[in-house]
Amino acid sequence: MKYKIFSLILLIFLAGCKNDDDNGLPPSVSANDFVWKALNLWYYWQADVPDLTDDRFSSDGEYNSFLNSQQTDELFFNLLHDYGNTDRFSWIVNDYHDLDNAFAGINKTFGMKYGLVYEQANSSQVFGYVQYVLPNSPASTAGLQRGDIFTRINGIQLTDQNYSQLLSENSATFGLGYIQNGQVFDGDQQVSITKVQIQENPVHHSEVITVGSNKIGYLVYNGFRANFNDELNDAIGQFKAQGITDLILDLRYNGGGSVQTSAYLGSMITGQFNQQDFTKLTFNAKTSNNNMTYKFESQGKTYNDNLEENGTFTIQQLNLSKLYVLTTGNSASASEMLISCLRPYIEVVTIGTKTYGKTVGSITLYDSPQDYYTTNENVNPSHTWAMQPIVFDYKNSQNQSSPSFGIVPNQEINEIQFLENLLPFGDPNEPLLSTAISIIASPKNAPLLIPNFHSVLFKTSQNLEKFATEMYLDKGFNINR
């Protein structure tokens, strides 16, 4: 298992900038020139942005005046197409070293993922519930576990106005609570924990559940990260060795990640479609020579924590004709790609709530024009800005897009309604897993699930992480120039 704790550079995307722009000085023309030229080349909606057209400026002087008129991040967001609506996903960071860490799954964290839920309708008060805890993390050491409730941070009641500030603190004391008869109560117990640098292994939990003649593989997978391709393949290999008949893939907290890893997982689940089309990516007109197709494969690539290719592996294949996927609104991008791109080939049954709805993807752009802005090997040393703009969309082998509003589940089950007793991963009575098992083993005898809490989700820890819903091409992908 690759759970690691590091004493590395703090990964904070929105603070501590190292560029002149953040000190109230004039904008960096070098950085702004990078933003404009890289977006002019790669941005998916480049043709729809008047300020990004090739003939926008009549002279170098006009161009330079335009660059000098805005700070770097301001320029970036002003150049996006219908930002917040059509483009909800492009972003920029002031230090590409932080971005590279994020690709590898390295974050400074308490060691748990959580959701924030309104205590009741028409109230500003929220409470947190622990979705899962990372092994060997501060949260784990403090004894926190899935299903725990917290209502206060440092003695202050959580609300929909103060949550971000309270949860961004480096150290915090969590006041625990509980739910009884549909009501949220403060408890007496408090837990103090401090964030540390952790690399999360997205292969969080796997086991085989035997129900009658069915041997059901259950995998909780929380991120499509290329540097954990081998761990993912090992988990599938263990299922294969144990002769599973069915697979339940828990993607309810999986915000996405690598397109290639999504295609690899599709290949692991199946095996009977080698070299057939998995997904098709389409870039803008200026970079359309990079339009590409990812196929079902029998061999995969491994990557180190710098996301440099360092080996290959034989893909373990289950040859399944049906898949069961647990989803929530946190299931995004590469998770949705997996569902949509498998459906032309096998039956995919989704259980939970509607997915996030992200049908476009990105690459990391650095100020390295000689490399078409796609590597940091020859980067401009005068600044450290990098961008993660949308540069492609995807379709499945039938040229169908995933729904931009999210994938509606075949069987709707909302875990928020069962927070009074949120059971551990793998417990056959946990509502989403129980529903999937019943569909597999006894579809005519579905369990009677009685909600014990009625409210709505406000935010999740995923919403506070800038890199949490990305779908991207692995660093160093081959460019057709």
Provide DSSP, 400-415: -PPPTT-PPPSEE--G
The 10s digit of each residue's pLDDT in 109-120 is 999 999 999 998
- The pLDDT score that the predictor gives to residue 306 is 81
- CB neighbour list of residue 326: distance below 8 Å, 6 or more residues apart: 248, 249, 250, 251, 252, 350, 351, 352, 432, 433, 436
Neighbouring C-alpha atoms within 13 Å toward the C-beta of 230 = 13
Who wins on pLDDT, 1 or 345?
A: 345
- The pLDDT score that the predictor gives to residue 479 is 64
Who wins on pLDDT, 455 or 308?
A: 455
DSSP H helix total and E strand total for the chain? 10, 26
* Separation between Cα atoms, residue 317 and residue 271, nearest integer Å: 5
- CB neighbour list of residue 99: distance below 8 Å, 6 or more residues apart: 93, 364, 386, 388, 467
The 10s digit of each residue's pLDDT in 302-338 is 999 888 899 999 999 999 999 999 999 999 999 999 9
376 pLDDT band (50/70/90 cuts)? confident
User: Does position 48 have pLDDT exceeding 60, yes or no?
Assistant: yes
- The pLDDT score that the predictor gives to residue 17 is 35
pTM of the complete model beyond 0.85:
yes
User: Which of the residue ranges 244-253, 419-428, 429-438, 464-473 would you say has the lowest mean pLDDT?
Assistant: 464-473
- The pLDDT score that the predictor gives to residue 246 is 98
468 pLDDT band (50/70/90 cuts)? low
- The pLDDT score that the predictor gives to residue 463 is 80
- The pLDDT score that the predictor gives to residue 54 is 96
* Separation between Cα atoms, residue 322 and residue 249, nearest integer Å: 11
Structure tokens at 420: 């009074």
Chain position carrying tokens 């509980």 = 178
96 pLDDT band (50/70/90 cuts)? confident
The 10s digit of each residue's pLDDT in 259-310 is 999 999 999 999 999 999 999 999 999 999 999 999 999 999 999 988 889 9
Distances (CA, A) of 2 to 16, 136, 227, 229, 238: 29, 11, 10, 11, 17
Who wins on pLDDT, 474 or 144?
A: 144
User: Does position 28 have pLDDT exceeding 90, yes or no?
Assistant: no
User: Does position 223 have pLDDT exceeding 80, yes or no?
Assistant: yes
User: Does position 24 have pLDDT exceeding 60, yes or no?
Assistant: no
Q: Helices in 245-352 by DSSP H: which ranges?
A: 259-269, 334-342
15 pLDDT band (50/70/90 cuts)? very low
Provide DSSP, 157-169: EPBTTTHHHHHTS
Burial 230-256 (b: 16+ CB within 10 A, else e): bbbbebbbbbbeeebbbbbbbbbbbbb
Chain position carrying tokens 């009977």 = 272
